[in-house]
Structures are given as C-alpha cells and as structure tokens.
Structure 1
Amino acid sequence: MNRHHQSLWRLDFSHWEVSWLIYARRRELNSPWRRLGCFKQALLTLARLRKNETFAQLAAGFGVSTATAWRYVLAARAPGRHEALTGLGEGDHVIVDGTLIPTDRIAADEPYYSMKHRRHGMNVQVIARPDGTPLWFSRATPGRTHELTAARAHGIVQACLTRQILVLADRAYQGAGATFRTPYYHHREQPEHYQQFNRDHAKLRAPGERAFAQLKSWRILRRARCSTRRISTIVQTVHTLLTCNYSG
C-alpha cells in the first residue's frame, strides 16, 4: 500500500464506517479468509470511489486486482425512496432536481447524449431536504432522458403527490402536478410579483445543488470511465457513504 493510499483514510470520515460494514457483511456470510482485511478493503474501496483510480493503480498499491466491497456491501445499504420519504407529508417540502454524470461515450451512442448539457452521460435524480441534504438518489438513466420523464419513471412524482409533499423544482418539471412549484416562464415580461416569486423560488431551491456537490465530490462520478450499467451501483454506494457521514 503506497503513501498516497495511506493518507486517504485521514481525509475520509467514512473509512471506519465502511470497515464496519464490510466486517458485518463478512460475519453475516461467514466469509472465508480474504487477502485484505476489512480496514484495507475499505481503504481500497474509498480509493476507487474518491480518487477514481484505475484497477491497475489499485493493484499496484494493494497487491490485488479488483475492488468488490462497493458492489456487494455498500450499494445495497442505500436507502430506498419509500424509506427516504418516511416521516414526510403534507406541510413538508423537498427539492427535486437532476444532474448528469459525464461518461466517455462516442457520438453514435445517441441515448446517452444530453442536449441540455451538450455531452454524453447518465441522468440521476435527487430528492433533497431544504438544506440540501440528500434524501435519495435515483438509478441512472441515459442522459437524453428528460427530467420530468425521469422523475415520473422513478416514482418521484407519484410519491410526492400521494404524500402531499411540496416540491421545489426547476422549469423542466412543469406539469408534474399540484404539489410541484416551478418558476414562471418569461418572468421578466411578467408583473413584479411574478418576478419576485421566481427570485424567492431560486433562493429556496439553491441549496439543492449541495446534494449534487456532495455526490460529485467523489471523483469517480465527475467523469465515469466504467460501463454505464455500473453507474447506478456507484451512485447508491456513494449515497451509503454520504449517509455514514451525515449520521456520524
């Protein structure tokens, strides 16, 4: 294990939590001896996710070829949408938004090209608290997917309407339903109170960007080099680690 990896655990508060999650999972499975202990396996996982290091770099640093902890331990522990919304109801409000996880794709991969962002990637939806704390991240869908289409497909719209949760969202979610509050179009041509509404709405919705900032603080999601099929699992893994940080 090189000096770079030795210093990583000092920078990441979730390292001990990950170690315990791996330990608990091994006990649950009555797993046989592994070359790496729980502590080093957690460090390897965080190096992969936080630093976006290749498996070749990890192999050189740890003497192993693959990192599997994030696939079979962490992603499964991310809260589901129902769990995330437990306790919320009429009178509460959340922020709903989408972001693009950039990927290395070729021009022929049309479903992954986002016209909004002018690049290839995967669309991820988030439900966040008013202060920007993420409650739930969706699975990743091709970047061409419209925000409202994605929100409906993931059940966000129906869940919020059923619970009568007030939702602050951008213009892409217009038409979602009665509890969704979106800005007015052409607000500069509207009366002053319309313009003031848009300004107030933007201020209340701005903290939602904090959820995506937390997500993309993990370099692996700033430009994903892996298969698009794995991005959903990575997002759920990072959500688990963010939950560890928030609860700690």
Structure 2
Amino acid sequence: MVIPLITPATEGALSVPYRAPLDVPYKLFEQVAWLLHEHRQARHTCRRKLGCFKQALLTLVHLRKNETFSHLGAGFGISQATAWRYVDETLDVLADWAPGLHAAFTGLGAGDHVLVDGTLTPIDRIAADEPYYSIKHRKHGMNVQVIARPDGTPLWFSRATPGRTHGLTAARAHGIVQACLTRQILVLADRAYQGAGATFRTPYYHHREQPEHYQQFNRDHTRLRAPGERAFAQLKSWRLPRRARCSTRRISTIVHTLLTCSCSG
C-alpha cells in the first residue's frame, strides 16, 4: 500500500472531519429551532437545504465556537454562502426577541438597584480606523453597555458603538441615565460614570486621602458591583464576541442575539 506524501502545496487542501459536542442547553437549542419554524411558516419558506433544527445548530455552533462560514458549510454539507445566509437569518430572528431598555426594567422601581458597566468587543481593524480604537484596552473594538441585576443576571445589552466612545457618553446616548432616573432605580457603576448624576453612584476618587467612611463606602461599593462580572462572563462565554470578524454593523445584532440566548438558556 502506497501512502501519498503530504506536501505544503497540497496540505491546505486536505480536510479531516470530526465530531464534537456543543455545550449549550438543549432547551435553548429547541427554542431557537421553534422560532425558526414560526419564521418560516410566516414567510412560507418551509423547503430548505437544512431543517429548522439543523439551522439552529448551525447558528449556535457559529456563536459558541466562532467557526468560519467555510468550515460551517463543510460541516453541514452546504456552501459557504448558504451557511452565511442561514446564520444571518437566524441572528435577525433572535435579535428581534431581545428586550428593549424599558422592557428590561419591568418589575423594577424605586428602592431597587442595578449594575451598569461597559465591555469591549474586539474587532479586526487597521490603525487608520481611529474611532474604533479604545485607548483603555489598547485595541480596536466596539463598546457595549450592560445592565445587570444585583446577582449578575444580564437584563439588557446596548447596541454597539465605536470603541473610542466613553462609558458615560454611551450611557447617556442609550438613554440609560434618563430611564433609571424616571423609575428612580439606583445604579452602581465604576468611576467611568462619574458625573452622570441622577441615581448613579460611583466610588470616590483619591479615597486613601479621604476619611475612613469614604474608604468603607468604596469597599462596600466594590463588593456590591462584583457580581456584575457574571453578565460579562455570560456574554464572553460565546466566542464570537471575543474576536468579531464581521461587519461592525452586525455586532449590535449579534449582541442582542446573545441576550436572547442568555434569557432563554
């Protein structure tokens, strides 16, 4: 038996298939499939290359593992263009189910408090794309504001804005400051939001030079804000937001899709 020699010229053309598990709840997978089924029924497009369950699996694999469309197409027996269309369609369907800012505050009122913070979704950009460069993180990305419950459960993800956008500027632009003031909801945030006023509470600057009760306030403030990192952990558990290769115009849709997945899962 003659074994062919793999040379650098032909090595890239070889493809070795393998099977791997997807660590998402089956309840989420089933719910995405049924939403796609309703979407197809409404548009009368039931005959497709992939069924609803396979399309749901295709999208969740893309979100969870950040696979390229060429790899997804090869794994599901469809073309790269078809894989892109299926994923894009599913993202739009799921993003429509993400709660808006005012819907996220349902059940909250005076006396309640939430956690507000921002995160950066890294993107592929060159040095000339200055609006997308975050000086704080020293990389290009998109700014996403997150509102979470005191236990870290995400309530709302904002639309993505260029990474250079300051946290306070983004909070005002998205209407977070005004919405919390209207409902008299206390907001715990870091120093980036100092000057927001309204119901925002931020740590004191130069607390080591301040009286002891200021230092104690900062310690308590940090302890209460700590669970907010869980909301970021849920967002970044999906690999796609860790390094987005898509157009910046689609990142908001992806973020809202992940909010729907977080609420459903």
Q: What TM-score does the superposition give when structure 2 sets the normalisation length? A: 0.88
Are 1:110 and 2:123 counterparts?
no
Q: CA deviation at 1:3?
A: 4.3
Q: Deviations over 1:63-117 (max 9, x none)?
A: 2222234333111111111110112111010000000001111111000011111
The amino acid that maps onto 2:90 is: W
**1:25-63 Cα deviation digits (max 9, x unpaired):** 222222231110011000000011100000000111012
Q: Matches of 2:52 and 2:180 in 1, distance apart?
A: 39
Deviation at 1:15, TM superposition (A): 1.1
1:182 to 198, 202, 208: 202
Q: Deviations over 1:130-188 (max 9, x none)?
A: 00000000000000000000000001010001111000000111111231110000111
Gaps of 5+ in 1: none
Whichever residue aligns with residue 203 of structure 1, its letter is R
Partner of residue 30, structure 1: 44
Superposed, which structure 2 residues align to 1:1-248 within 5 Å?
Answer: 3-4=18-19, 7-8=21-22, 11-13=23-25, 14-64=28-78, 65=80, 66=84, 67-245=87-265
Residue 81 of structure 1 aligns to which amino acid in structure 2?
A: L
Over alpha carbons, which structure has the higher Rg? 2
Q: How many residues align?
A: 241
Root mean square deviation of aligned Cα: 1.1
* Consecutive unaligned residues in structure 2, runs of 5 or more: 1-16
Instruction: Output the TM-score relative to the length of structure 1.
Output: 0.94
Letter in 2 for 1:12: V
Bigger Cα displacement from structure 2, 171-180 vs 153-162: 171-180
1:57 counterpart SS class: helix
Task: Report the residue type matching 1:218 in the other structure.
Answer: W
Contact 1:95/1:208 (<8 A) preserved: yes
Contact 2:121 2:241 in 1 (8 A): yes
Distance 2:239 2:226 in 1: 22
**2:19 counterpart letter in structure 1:** H
Is the Cα–Cα contact under 8 Å of residues 41 and 69 in structure 1 kept in the other structure? no
Secondary structure of the residue aligned to 1:126 is strand
SS in 1 for 2:19: helix
**For 2:92 and 2:135, how far apart are their aligned partners in 1?**
34
Maintained 8 Å contact 1:122/1:140:
yes
Q: Structure 2: how far apart are the matches of 1:32 and 1:18?
A: 16
Residue type at the aligned position of 2:179? A
Query: Hey, what's the Cα distance between the residues in 2 that align with 1:50 and 1:241?
Result: 11
